[in-house]
Structure 1
Amino acid sequence: MTVSGTLYVVATPIGNLQDISPRALAILRDVDLIAAEDTRHSARLLQHFGISTATTACHDHNERDKSQRLVERLLAGESIALISDAGTPLISDPGFHLVRQAREAGVQVCPVAGPCALIAALSAAGLPSDRFAFEGFLPAKSKGRRDRLQALANESRTWLIYEAPHRLLECLEDMLSALGPERQVVLARELSKTFETIKGAPVAELLEWVRADSDQQRGECVLLVEGAPVPDSEDALSPEVLRTLEILLEELPLKQAAALAAKLTGEKKNRLYQWALVKNAKSGEAD
């Protein structure tokens, strides 16, 4: 009886080539085939380490059709390494369909741990990391992105997204609108590369910092967002403060109402803004 091969899901460097593990290198040398997101891109990595294993393309546009043929080779006893252009495959990268089909066919799937941009960013951002949410890439179009950010505004965990450099300013502008000016956001850019940047600030300040420096609008970006505060019974807004805010919300846009209510009551503007966001979201659900 033929024993099936193994599908190795291999993490590769996100920048610094020295981050690849000896185990990953050994597997890339020993497998029968490397399934790469972009064979031309991965060729540079393989050539650097003197790896001559055959490669085949497995990307978003061909993965569904290609997976069946790769699984057939695995079932015939060959071993395959799955790699993406950088980092850990399947984390906002192709590979899900291949891994699922391989598992359904009874093929052993073995993760070869290594670099991952979101984990690297989280480890150095200084935001709570005991619980977090990863949202991948937000919608590219403005309305979809704003809607998604609005839905995330009240997420209490630290949350992370990937963003393309040419959309970074637009994304930060939409964050300012959805989250208010004081929410802490960290930009982790070009991690492990020569011009690595990790900058945290209130979103309004971060937006202006990025806008003033075109170099910060280049390269691979991770944005990490501080979770919304979760008020408990002892920290609830007083009825008088809420009444003032509700009256102002009937006449003014949300941000203006929160700012004016803060001046009138002495309450923190960001707390009022977040409460108003929750109220608007619940009103939308009721509608």
Structure 2
Amino acid sequence: MSREKGASPYLLLSITMVLWGSAFSSSKSVVEHVPHSVAALLRFGGAALVLLIAVRIFGGGRPAPRARRRAASAGVLGVFAYNGFFFWGLSLAPSLDAGVLIPVMSPVLTSLFLLLTGRGRASAGRLAGLALGLAGAAVFFLGAGGGTQQYPSRLAGDALFLLSAVCWAAFTLAGPRVLSGIDTLSATAYATCTGAVLLGVLAAPDLPDVDWSGLPAGVWMNVVYLAVGAAAVANLLYYRGVGAVGPASASMMMFTVPVVNTVCGTVFLGESFTALQAVGALILSAGAGLAALQDRPSLHRAPVAPKTSRTL
């Protein structure tokens, strides 16, 4: 089977994880100045505009109606629901918590979904990884339970991050099906535009309360970065990567996100974990890694590259 020329899917996924890892603290900076619903709209409304322009310039034809509906429905889950919970959580908890719970719980939940749907084998390693991961998550939540003076509702925020992880795991598993019969650019555009419209409906009541002229220049710089880099480009690369290597291997790449996010959150925002959260994060990471490793395809089996656009 011929392989499509271009960058390695693992390189594309690595770039995606760096963009996403830095996006947690960048999103938190925006949420500190506007309502969380407006911050989500700015990120994905901007991304939708970028992708529509890209489709206009580089689009490779009009996909079939069924393929468009699949991509749009993926946007409800992977853009609207995920980011609705994520940005709401950022208004209650530090970005460090999101950078652990979402990317590290995603492989655990992906493995659990594969097991429950009969697409994964109930091996001892997978079950042990799931148990360890869930135990680590419980310890992490226990560490956030008391809250802090700065984040009295930290536990509620972490619960919202967990819901985001559920949405993202389901979105990842749906990725190969979404890409069936549609190019990567079009799939990303349909999903992002659908999610952006729904986020716009959610943000509509909060828009009049924003002092647009008083927003610092740094907020707008973060919005541009989030819309172009962390949303449009990153989602496009992720669709292509997950279509090439599969959801299990793609979920393994999420382990690089907490590292990038921890550096950004501590250096730029001065955030920190509680001691118990740090212990929980380590246990969770170990369990997630063990569970996700059970889902990786054979190294000797070449992944099937999806139909992709001409933009990459």
TM range (shorter): under 0.3
Higher helix share: 2
* Structure index of larger Rg: 1
| Bigger relative contact order (CA 8 A; separation at least 6) | 2
Q: TM-score, normalised by structure 2?
A: 0.19
